[in-house]
C-alpha cells in the first residue's frame, strides 16, 4: 500500500530541513500542474512506498497567495493519507493558526514541534500531553536541524496513515458553531463528511475560490448576516478572532515561558544587526566579505585551477612537481628577459634587429635557422661591446632582480628552452589537450576539430571554469539563508525600501533572484499590491544572479587584477538601481500609491547543518551546470559556425583564424556595434566582439563569457604568461569594461527570465515596458560611466560627455522632483479648509 504524506508549515519553520532529513537524496523537483510554484516530492528513507510532498511554506489556507491556493487545492483534491505539520516551537502561537485549519480538513494530522533544542535553552516548556489533548492530534517534539525526533515523527505519520484516527476537538463560540452546523447541513450531500467543517467555514468567510471546488454552491447569506449582526464585524474577522481565542487557551494550558523578560540570544544579536544605524554598514561588510572571498581569494584560486588546469593545458596532481616547474619557469623567464634587454640595447645603438626578432619570434623556425640568425647578429659591428641592463618584475610591477647581460649571456639565453610542465612531477593533461590528442589520433576533419575545440570546449569550458567560484558564493549565501540572517536583511531593507515607494516584500524576490532571476521573478506573486508586484518584477533582475557572476569575475580579472571592490560594487549597483527605480517610477501614474505592508517571521538564529548548506549549494550549482550543457552548448555551436565561416574574395567557406573579421558573426556584429560606440566598446576596431557578446547574453548571461572565450581564445594562454583573458584586456579600457559589466547587469535578462516576466505580467504591453526600461537604464548608466569616467581619468571631452552630463541632470531631477499626487492632495486639503 502506497502512502502519501503532505508536509505543511509556515515559512522559516524548518520545513525544508525536515524534508531533506526525511528524504535525503530521494527527491524530485518540478512544478505544480498549471503553475510555476515549485513542487518537491521525495521517498521516505527506508520506505519505498511512502511519498512525502513538501507543500509551499504558507501562513494559512486562505486564498491570499498562489502558494496558499496550491497547498489548499492539493490537500482538498489529492487527499493525502496524513499531514505532517511542522510547527516552530519558538513562535508556536503564530504557527498554530495554520494548524487549526489543517485539522479542520478532516485529514489525520501529526504535529512536529520543531526547534525544541532552542526552546530548552531559552527555558520554554511545552506539555506535549496537554497539546495533544487540546488539539486532538498526535504531537511529537523534534529538532529538524539536529535530526532529533524526525524518525519518530515520520513513523507516527506512517502508522496514522495505516489506521486513520481523526477527531475534531476545537470548538468556537456557540453562535459561530450554530452557523457552521447550518451550513454543513446545506452541503452534506456534495462534500465528504470529514471536509464539511472546512468548507462550511470557508463559505461563511466568503471565500470565492472554495466555491470553484463545489458542484453546487448553497446560499449562506442568511447565516453570514446573523453572525455579522451578532458580533458587529465581518465573518472572516469573526472566525479569525475565534481561532486566536482558541489558540490562546491552548497556549495557556500547554506552554510555559522561561526567562520571562530576558532577551534571547537571537534578540541580543538583532539589537546589533538590525540596529537603525548599524544594520546597513554590517550588511555592506557581510556582502563585501562574501564577494571578496568568492571572487578574489578562495574562489579565484579554484577558478584559476579550473581555467588553466581542467580547461587549459593541465595541472600537477596534488601539486607534485609544481615548485620544480616554477623554478624552471623562473629561470626561463630570466633568459627571455635577458634576450629582450640585449636586443633593446642593440636598437639603442642603432644596430638592426629586424632579422633576429623575426626568427626568434617564429615558433616554427628550426634550431639551425635560430643558430644562424644568432651568429649573424652577434657578428655585426658593435654587438660584442654591448652590456645590457635587465630587470625582472613581479605581477604587481615591482622589480625583483637586476642583472647585466653580455653578448655571451645573450647567446646562452637564446638556447634556453621553455620548460614543459609535463616533465615535472605528476602531470594531468587538461580537457582541451586530451580531446585534441584524441581528435588527432582519429585524423578528424579540420572543421569538426575546430567545432569541438574552438567552439564547444572553448565556449562551454570558459563558462564551466567559473563553477568553483560560483560554488564558493553559493555556500556563503546558503549559510546566510540557513542561519536566519537573510530574513533580517529583508526586514532591514523594508525600512529603506518603504521610503522609496517599495515594500520589504520586494526584497524577497530579489534575494531569491541572487541565485537565479526566474524563481526571483516568480516569487513576486506573494506581493498582493498589483503596482508593487509589477515594479518588483521590473527591478528584480537588477540584482546579480549566479549567471552574471562569471561576467563579474571575468571583468575583475581581465581589467582590475581581481579587485574585490568590482564584485562588491556590482551587487550594490543592482541595489542602487532598484532603489532609484522605485523612487522614479513611484512618481509616475502607473505606480503611484503607498507600498503594501510587510509582515515576515524572523526565525531564531542557529548554526545550519553542513549537509543542508552543501545541498543548497549543489542545487544552485547543478542548475548552472545543466544550463552550460544545454543552452550554452547549443549557443556555442551556432556561434562557432557564424565566426568560422564567411565570404572571402566573393567565395563562402571556412575561414582561417586571422580572417575572423570576415566572418558572418563579424558582419552581424558590425551592424550592431555603432549602437554601443558611445559606451567605448570600439577600441582597436574590435567593438563588434563586445556587441556580439552582449547580445548573446540575452540567450543566457553565461554566454557572454562563452562568446569571449571563443572570440579571444581563452583556451590558449598568451605567450607572455598573462591570464587566459589577456587578449580581452587589449580591446577595452578599464572604464569601458566596467561600463560593459554594468550594462550586462542592468539590461534585459536572459530569455528564460524574460519568459517569466511575460508570464507574471500577463500583459504584452507591460512586458515590453519592463524589458525596454531595463535595457534603456543599462545603456544610459553604462554611457555615463564611460563618458564621465574617461573625462576624469584621461581628460577626454566631447559630445558624448555633454550627453552624459545631461542624462545625469535629468536623472537627478526625476529622483528629487515632488510627488504630483501629494501636491494634489495638499491642494484639495487647503481648498476644503478654506470652505
Give the per-residue SS3 of 92-152: HHHHHHHHHHHHHCCCCEEEEEECHHHHHHHCCEECHHHHHHHHCCEEEECECCCCECHHH
* 755 located within any domain: no
Query: Is 524 marked within a binding site?
Result: no
Query: Is 155 marked within a binding site?
Result: no
> Measured between alpha carbons, how far is 473 from 475 in angstroms, rounded to an integer?
5
Query: Is 37 marked within a binding site?
Result: yes
Domain harbouring 209, CATH code: 1.10.287.1770
Strand partners, 390: 403
Q: Give the H/E segment covering residue 372.
A: helix 367-378
DSSP code at position 514? T
How many C-beta atoms surround the C-beta of residue 134 within 10 A?
21
Query: Is 11 marked within a binding site?
Result: yes
Query: Is 371 marked within a binding site?
Result: no
Domain harbouring 90, CATH code: 3.40.50.300
pLDDT tens profile 466-514: 678 778 877 887 888 778 887 787 777 777 777 666 666 677 677 667 7
Query: Is 116 marked within a binding site?
Result: yes
Query: Is 123 marked within a binding site?
Result: no
* 501 located within any domain: no
Query: Is 828 marked within a binding site?
Result: no
Q: What is the pLDDT of residue 280?
A: 82
- For residues 215 and 364, membership in a common domain is answered with no
Q: How far is CA 755 from CA 70, 544, 625, 761, 779, in A?
A: 21, 18, 20, 10, 22
Query: Is 727 marked within a binding site?
Result: no
Query: Is 24 marked within a binding site?
Result: yes
pLDDT tens profile 591-615: 766 655 555 666 778 788 787 788 8
What 3-state class would DSSP assign to 8? strand
* 586 located within any domain: no
- For residues 14 and 148, membership in a common domain is answered with yes
Query: Is 35 marked within a binding site?
Result: yes
- For residues 32 and 144, membership in a common domain is answered with yes
Query: Is 550 marked within a binding site?
Result: no
Query: Is 561 marked within a binding site?
Result: no
The CA angle 212-217-219, to the nearest 5 degrees, is: 140
User: Domain of 342?
Assistant: 322-423
Query: Is 431 marked within a binding site?
Result: no
Query: Is 34 marked within a binding site?
Result: yes
Query: Is 54 marked within a binding site?
Result: yes
Tell me the backbone φ, ψ of residue 30, rounded to 5 degrees: -155, -150
Q: Are 226 and 179 in contact (CB under 8 A)?
A: yes
- For residues 153 and 30, membership in a common domain is answered with yes
- For residues 246 and 350, membership in a common domain is answered with no
10-residue mean pLDDT profile of the chain (835 residues): values are 88 84 74 63 88 88 78 88 90 87 90 85 83 88 88 91 73 88 88 88 87 85 89 86 88 78 75 84 84 75 80 86 89 91 90 88 84 89 89 79 91 90 89 88 84 76 73 82 78 71 69 69 69 83 81 80 77 85 79 61 76 79 70 74 78 70 78 83 70 79 75 50 56 85 87 77 85 92 90 83 91 78 41 40
Work out whether strand 125-126 and strand 388-393 pair parallel, antiparallel, or are unpaired. unpaired
Query: Is 450 marked within a binding site?
Result: no
Query: Is 56 marked within a binding site?
Result: yes
> Measured between alpha carbons, how far is 835 from 833 in angstroms, rounded to an integer?
5
- For residues 366 and 248, membership in a common domain is answered with no
Sheet strands (E) in 131-286: 138-141, 255-256
**C-alpha cell, 244:** 486566536
Sequence-ordered list of residues with C-beta below 8 angstroms from that of 502, at least 6 positions apart, any chain: 532, 535, 536, 578, 579, 582, 586, 595
- For residues 39 and 155, membership in a common domain is answered with yes
Q: Which of 830, 798, 631, 661 is nearest to 731 (CA)?
A: 661
Query: Is 769 marked within a binding site?
Result: no
Query: Is 117 marked within a binding site?
Result: yes
Domain boundary among 388, 423, 458: 423
Q: How far is CA 650 from CA 446, 637, 662, in A?
A: 22, 25, 11
**C-alpha cell, 200:** 462550511
- For residues 143 and 224, membership in a common domain is answered with no
Domain boundary among 375, 399, 423: 423
* 11 located within any domain: yes
DSSP code at position 594? P
> Measured between alpha carbons, how far is 435 from 453 in angstroms, rounded to an integer?
8
Q: Which residues of 792-802 are buried (b: 16+ CB within 10 A; e: fewer)?
A: eeeeeeeebbe
- For residues 27 and 113, membership in a common domain is answered with yes
* 347 located within any domain: yes
Query: Is 611 marked within a binding site?
Result: no
pLDDT tens profile 303-347: 778 877 888 788 888 889 888 988 998 899 999 999 999 999 999
Query: Is 710 marked within a binding site?
Result: no
Domain boundary among 214, 231, 256: 256
* 20 located within any domain: yes
Query: Is 557 marked within a binding site?
Result: no
* 440 located within any domain: no
- For residues 146 and 209, membership in a common domain is answered with no
Q: Give CA torsion, residues 261, 266, 271, 274, to 10 deg.
A: -140
Q: What is the pLDDT of residue 686?
A: 67
> Measured between alpha carbons, how far is 358 from 351 in angstroms, rounded to an integer?
15
The CA angle 512-518-520, to the nearest 5 degrees, is: 25
- For residues 51 and 145, membership in a common domain is answered with yes
* 59 located within any domain: yes
Roughly how many angstroms between the first and final C-alpha of the chain, as a whole number?
78
Q: What is the pLDDT of residue 717?
A: 38
Query: Is 114 marked within a binding site?
Result: yes
Q: Give the H/E segment covering residue 539.
A: helix 530-540
- For residues 45 and 144, membership in a common domain is answered with yes
> Measured between alpha carbons, how far is 670 from 651 in angstroms, rounded to an integer?
20
DSSP code at position 546? G
Query: Is 749 marked within a binding site?
Result: no
Q: How many domains does the chain have?
A: 3
Amino acid at each position: 500500500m502506497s502512502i502519501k504524506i503532505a508536509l505543511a508549515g509556515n515559512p522559516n519553520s524548518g520545513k525544508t530541513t525536515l524534508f531533506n532529513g526525511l528524504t535525503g537524496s530521494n527527491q524530485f523537483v518540478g512544478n505544480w500542474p498549471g503553475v510555476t510554484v515549485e513542487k518537491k516530492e521525495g521517498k521516505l528513507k527506508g520506505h519505498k512506498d511512502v511519498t512525502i510532498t513538501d507543500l509551499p511554506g504558507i501562513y494559512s489556507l486562505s486564498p491570499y497567495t498562489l502558494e496558499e491556493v496550491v497547498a489548499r487545492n492539493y490537500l482538498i483534491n489529492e487527499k493525502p493519507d496524513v499531514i505532517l505539520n511542522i510547527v516552530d516551537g519558538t513562535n508556536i502561537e503564530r504557527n498554530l493558526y495554520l494548524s487549526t485549519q489543517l485539522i479542520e480538513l478532516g485529514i489525520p494530522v501529526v504535529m512536529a514541534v520543531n526547534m525544541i533544542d532552542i526552546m530548552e535553552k531559552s527555558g520554554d516548556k511545552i506539555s506535549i500531553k496537554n497539546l495533544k489533548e487540546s488539539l486532538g492530534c498526535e504531537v511529537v517534539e523534534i529538532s529538524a536541524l539536529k535530526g532529533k525526533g524526525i524518525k519518530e515523527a515520520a513513523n507516527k505519520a506512517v502508522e496514522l496513515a495505516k489506521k486513520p484516527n481523526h477527531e475534531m476537538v476545537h470548538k468556537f463560540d456557540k453562535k459561530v458553531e450554530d452557523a457552521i452546523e447550518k451550513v454543513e447541513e446545506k452541503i452534506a450531500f456534495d462534500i465528504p463528511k470529514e471536509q464539511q467543517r472546512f468548507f462550511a467555514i470557508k463559505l461563511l468567510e466568503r471565500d470565492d475560490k472554495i466555491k470553484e471546488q463545489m458542484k453546487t454552491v448553497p446560499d449562506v447569506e442568511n447565516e453570514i448576516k446573523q453572525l455579522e449582526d451578532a458580533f458587529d464585524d465581518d465573518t472572516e474577522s469573526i472566525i479569525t478572532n475565534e481561532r486566536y481565542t482558541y489558540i490562546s487557551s491552548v497556549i495557556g494550558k500547554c506552554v510555559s515561558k522561561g526567562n520571562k523578560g530576558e532577551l534571547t540570544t537571537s534578540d541580543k544579536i538583532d539589537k546589533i544587526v538590525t540596529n537603525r544605524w548599524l544594520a546597513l554598514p554590517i550588511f555592506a561588510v557581510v556582502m563585501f566579505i562574501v564577494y571578496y572571498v568568492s571572487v578574489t581569494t578562495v574562489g579565484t584560486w579554484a577558478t584559476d585551477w579550473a581555467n588553466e588546469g581542467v580547461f587549459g593545458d593541465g595541472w600537477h596532481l596534488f601539486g607534485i612537481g609544481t615548485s620544480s616547474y616554477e623554478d624552471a619557469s623562473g629561470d626561463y623567464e630570466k633568459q627571455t628577459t635577458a634576450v629582450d634587454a640585449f636586443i633593446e640595447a642593440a636598437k639603442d645603438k642603432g644596430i638592426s634587429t629586424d632579422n633576429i626578432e623575426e626568427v626568434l619570434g617564429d615558433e616554427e623556425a628550426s634550431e639551425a635557422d635560430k643558430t644562424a640568425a644568432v651568429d649573424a647578429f652577434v657578428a655585426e659591428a658593435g654587438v660584442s661591446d654591448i652590456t645590457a641592463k635587465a630587470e625582472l618584475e613581479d605581477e604587481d610591477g615591482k622589480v625583483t632582480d637586476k642583472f647585466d647581460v653580455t653578448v655571451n649571456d645573450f647567446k646562452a639565453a637564446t638556447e634556453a628552452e621553455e620548460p614543459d610542465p609535463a616533465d615535472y612531477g605528476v602531470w594531468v593533461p587538461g580537457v582541451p589537450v586530451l580531446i585534441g590528442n584524441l581528435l588527432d589520433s582519429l585524423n578528424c576533419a579540420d572543421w569538426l576539430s575546430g567545432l569541438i575545440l574552438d567552439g564547444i570546449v572553448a565556449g562551454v569550458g570558459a563558462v564551466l571554469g567559473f563553477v568553483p567560484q560560483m560554488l564558493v558564493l553559493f555556500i556563503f549565501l546558503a549559510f546566510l539563508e540557513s542561519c536566519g540572517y537573510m530574513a533580517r536583511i529583508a526586514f532591514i531593507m523594508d525600512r529603506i525600501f518603504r521610503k522609496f515607494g517599495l515594500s520589504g516584500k520586494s526584497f524577497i524576490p530579489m534575494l531569491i533572484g541572487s541565485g537565479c532571476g526566474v524563481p526571483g521573478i516568480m516569487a513576486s506573486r506573494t506581493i498582493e499590491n498589483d503596482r508593487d508586484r509589477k515594479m518588483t518584477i521590473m527591478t528584480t533582475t537588477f540584482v546579480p544572479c549566479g549567471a552574471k557572476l562569471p561576467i563579474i569575475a571575468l571583468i575583475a580579472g581581465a581589467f582590475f587584477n581581481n579587485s574585490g571592490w568590482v564584485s562588491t560594487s556590482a551587487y550594490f549597483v543592482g541595489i542602487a538601481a532598484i532603489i532609484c527605480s522605485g523612487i522614479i517610477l513611484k512618481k509616475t501614474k502607473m505606480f503611484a500609491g503607498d507600498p503594501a505592508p510587510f509582515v515576515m517571521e524572523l526565525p531564531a538564529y542557529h548554526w545550519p547543518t553542513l549537509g543542508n548548506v552543501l545541498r543548497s549549494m549543489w542545487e544552485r550549482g547543478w542548475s548552472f551546470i545543466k544550463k552550460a550543457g544545454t543552452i550554452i552548448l547549443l549557443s556555442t555551436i551556432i556561434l562557432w559556425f557564424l565566426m568560422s565561416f564567411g565570404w572571402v574574395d566573393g567565395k563562402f567557406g571556412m575561414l582561417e583564424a586571422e580572417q575572423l573579421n570576415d566572418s558572418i558573426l563579424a558582419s552581424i556584429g558590425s551592424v550592431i556595434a555603432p549602437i554601443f560606440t558611445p559606451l567605448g566598446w570600439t577600441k582597436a576596431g574590435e567593438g563588434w566582439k563586445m556587441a556580439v557578446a552582449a547580445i548573446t547574453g540575452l540567450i543566457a548571461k553565461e554566454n557572454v563569457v562563452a562568446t569571449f572565450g571563443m572570440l579571444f581564445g581563452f583556451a590558449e594562454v598568451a605567450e607572455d604568461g598573462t591570464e587566459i583573458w589577456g587578449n580581452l584586456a587589449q580591446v577595452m579600457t578599464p572604464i569601458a569594461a566596467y561600463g560593459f559589466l554594468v550594462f550586462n547587469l542592468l539590461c534585459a535578462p536572459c530569455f528564460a527570465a524574460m519568459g517569466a516576466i511575460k508570464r507574471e505580467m500577463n500583459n504584452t504591453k507591460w512586458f515590453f515596458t519592463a524589458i525596454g526600461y531595463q535595457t534603456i537604464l543599462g545603456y544610459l548608466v553604462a554611457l555615463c560611466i564611460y563618458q564621465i569616467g574617461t573625462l576624469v581619468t584621461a581628460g577626454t571631452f566631447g559630445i558624448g560627455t555633454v550627453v552624459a552630463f545631461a542624462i545625469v541632470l535629468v536623472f537627478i531631477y526625476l529622483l528629487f522632483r515632488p510627488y504630483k499626487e501629494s501636491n494634489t492632495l495638499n491642494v484639495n486639503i487647503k481648498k476644503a479648509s478654506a470652505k
